[in-house]
Amino acid sequence: MKLPINSRWALGLAVFALTAASYAQWSNPADDVAAYHPSAPLKVSALPPILSGAKLKGENFRFPWQVHVYQQVIKVSSVVYQLPCNCRCDRALGHTSLRSCFENQHGTECSTCAQEGFFAYQQTKLGKTPAQIRAAIARHEYEKIDLNKQ
């Protein structure tokens, strides 16, 4: 028995919808969390350095906040090591945590990284733990940071 073309399309669409639904059923929202380290590094000195000093000059450092965020992130290096970066540079650039964004000039180019860096510094100074800061980042609380006022 040969099905009419419209029936074949309907059958194909139904199979596609069932397949998509079955994958969605097994997806885990926790899998969509960006990369981070669950605990502090054993030795911060063993990690790649965060850019500092003379490396905070040049065309990528046109605004005062760009230098300032790197200076603040250095002070909370082991905290940002334990935080994810919501710009998803873990996928595109292979970063392993928010700290990775400041080991190169990525933190100057990405407002998400910069806002999270400032946020991490502020929250650490308020006595928040890395786990509490991670939870706040998941709630996108860092988006309240105005980079031009930093």
CA–CA separation, 139 and 92 (whole Å): 22
* Phi-psi map region of 137: left, alpha, beta (phi>0 left; psi -120 to 50 alpha): alpha
- pLDDT, residue 4, reads 62
Dmax over Cα atoms in the chain, in whole Å? 77
Residues 6 or more apart from 49 whose CB is under 8 A from it?
103
User: What is the pLDDT at residue 121?
Assistant: 98
Are 93 and 45 a contacting pair, CB within 8 Å?
no
- 51, 103 in Cβ contact below 8 A? yes
Task: Give the Cα separation of 60 and 6 in Å (integer).
Answer: 56
Closest residue by Cα to residue 122 from 145, 148, 96: 145
State both tokens at 82. 């334990």
Spatial separation of the C-alpha atoms in residues 126 and 122, rounded to whole Å: 6
Per-residue pLDDT of the chain (150 residues; tens, 9 = 90+): 565 665 555 544 444 443 433 333 333 344 577 888 899 898 888 899 999 999 999 999 999 999 999 999 999 999 999 999 888 877 777 778 899 999 999 999 999 999 999 999 999 999 999 999 999 999 999 999 999 987
DSSP string, 60-74: T--SHHHHHHHHHHH
Distance CA 120, CA 5 (A): 58
